[in-house]
Chain A
């Protein structure tokens, strides 16, 4: 099925460990996004990529890095995980012809840092 695929769905990390969240879309969308969702905070933008080869910081980029590997894939890396990064992470994508329709979201990754 067409859509946005995120892996993994769940992850537990120890403080200081690193990991990469993977995201891929098969809708030929230009733009991709990483959000984090925390209780009472809504969804906050971490990084985004408006097109292949470009990335920009969002509202809460500290502690994260991203890579737009190609048009399909946009990964989020935590170099040294901290308990404050415990959250649910969503990847989303948007196409130029779909601006009216908002985003297509992945199913989310629940990350716990202990």
Chain B
């Protein structure tokens, strides 16, 4: 069975600094999708960034980028120039392109931004 592991329950970063959140996953599939979701105190689940496994190029969305290492089954999220609004719970997630489209989530990393 596929699993997603986030080894850092909580992290803190100084405002304007860079932080990296770790995620590893276990799968025997070769085709899949990976996501990072942000959950601010409002509880809303917000898609931050996504990566297709067959693409070697790392995805980037403004200040957010990933380091996708397929052989190592690693999918870390880097946040540059951290802002107070980045404070949230971050979930790493995995999905295979099957009919049921189920997503498996990690347990989350709570990110604190220090002013």
Asked whether, in the complex, the Cβ of B105 is within 8 Å of the Cβ of A42, the reply is yes
Q: Does chain A have a CB within 8 A of B25?
A: no
The minimal Cβ–Cβ distance linking A114 to chain B, given in whole angstroms, is: 21
Q: Which residues of B contact A92 (CB under 8 A)?
A: 45
The minimal Cβ–Cβ distance linking A92 to chain B, given in whole angstroms, is: 8
User: In the complex, which residue of chain A has the Cβ closest to the Cβ of B46?
Assistant: A105
Chain B's interface size range is 20 to 34
Q: Which of B45-92 contact A (CB under 8 A)?
A: 45, 47, 50, 52, 91
Asked whether, in the complex, the Cβ of B101 is within 8 Å of the Cβ of A101, the reply is no
Contact digits for B9-43, partner A, Cβ 8 Å, 1 yes 0 no: 10000000000000000000000010101000001
Asked whether, in the complex, the Cβ of B108 is within 8 Å of the Cβ of A102, the reply is no
Asked whether, in the complex, the Cβ of A43 is within 8 Å of the Cβ of B105, the reply is yes
The minimal Cβ–Cβ distance linking A8 to chain B, given in whole angstroms, is: 14
Chain A's interface size range is 20 to 34
Contact digits for A1-22, partner B, Cβ 8 Å, 1 yes 0 no: 0000000000000000000000
Q: How far is the CA of A62 from the CA of B44 in the complex (A)?
A: 26
Q: Which residues of A contact B50 (CB under 8 A)?
A: 100-102
Q: Does chain A have a CB within 8 A of B111?
A: no
Interface residues of B (CB under 8 A from A): 4, 6, 9, 33, 35, 37, 43-45, 47, 50, 52, 91, 93, 95, 97, 99-108
